[in-house]
Amino acid sequence: MLLCFLGLGIFLGIFGIGVGVGSEVPSILKIAGPVVCSDGQLVTGIETYSWRPGEQVDNINAACMNGVTGELRDVTNQMMLVAGSMYGLIIFILLYGSWVLWAPLRRRRFPSGPQKGAAT
């Protein structure tokens, strides 16, 4: 059961928060900055363009800038993956913690085994 909660938490973290929410609210991905961009400075940018009248597309990019050479290295996907994994671990702790805390109540409400006085 532990591995099921871990898999579910990581899945929800990566795809639900890292990719889904992170594409709408890119500031939540900055938690992964020190891990992904340990050798430089994290630079984020939003590129807005319109390919059809009345529609607008925002491209969110993240890059590591080397402090010495100024070279940029794209880390957008790595940020989504690492931030999603971090948030996934938080989801796992919440899921498993609620499962463990709910277990005594579950046993009291739904006892297993034969009941006293029940016909066999």
Q: What's the domain range around 30?
A: 2-109
Longest dimension (CA), the chain: 82
Domain presence at residue 72: yes
Residues in the chain: 120
> Which pLDDT score is estimated for 70?
86
Task: With respect to residue 15, please indicate whether it lies within any of the assigned structural domains.
Answer: yes
Q: Which of 19, 44, 17 is nearest to 30 (CA)?
A: 44
Can you tell me the mean pLDDT for 71-76? 92
- The CA R_g of the chain, rounded to the nearest whole Å, is 23
116 within a domain of the structure (yes/no)? no
Q: Is residue 17 part of a domain?
A: yes
Task: Tell whether 62 is covered by a domain.
Answer: yes
Q: How far is CA 112 from the centre of its chain?
A: 36
The pLDDT tens digits for 53-65 are 888 888 888 999 9
Neighbouring residues of 41: CB distance < 8 A, sequence distance ≥ 6: 64, 65, 67
Say how many domains are in the chain. 1
| Cβ density class 9-30: b for 16+ within 10 Å, e for less | bbebbbeebbbebbeeebeebe
